[in-house]
Amino acid sequence: MNSSDLAGALWRTSRHSGSNGGNCVEVAFLDGGRVAVRDSKDVGAGPALVFTASEWAAFSAGMADGEFVPTA
């Protein structure tokens, strides 16, 4: 997938991302259940990761379960 494939994507950020100094990501839900993720500082210029529906579901479940919380 190249950047022209994402030209019409509707990118969203979390409503909680306004207070973190611009360090946030944007997601776009694409046809076929795919999900694209990019750095909000690189709008239109930077890379985007594209996940399948099952990859995104696994990631979302891991986030909800605290799988990615750093430990001391």
Indicate the pTM of the whole model.
Answer: 0.77
More confident: 6 or 56: 56
Element (H, E) at 19: none
pLDDT for 2 beyond 70: no
Asked, for residue 56, whether it belongs to a domain, the answer is: yes
Residue 69 lies in a domain: no
Query: What residue numbers bound the domain in which 11 lies?
Result: 3-64
Give dist(CA 28, CA 35) in Å, integer: 6
Exposure string over 24-47, b if 16+ CB within 10 A, otherwise e: ebbbbebeeeebbbbbeeeeeeee
Would residue 71 count as lying in a domain?
A: no
Task: Return the percentage of the chain with pLDDT > 70, whole number.
Answer: 81
For the chain, what is the domain count?
1
C-alpha–C-alpha distance, residues 4 and 13, integer Å? 21
pLDDT digits (tens, 9 = 90+) for 16-40: 666 656 678 899 999 889 999 988 8
* Mean pLDDT on 5-25: 77
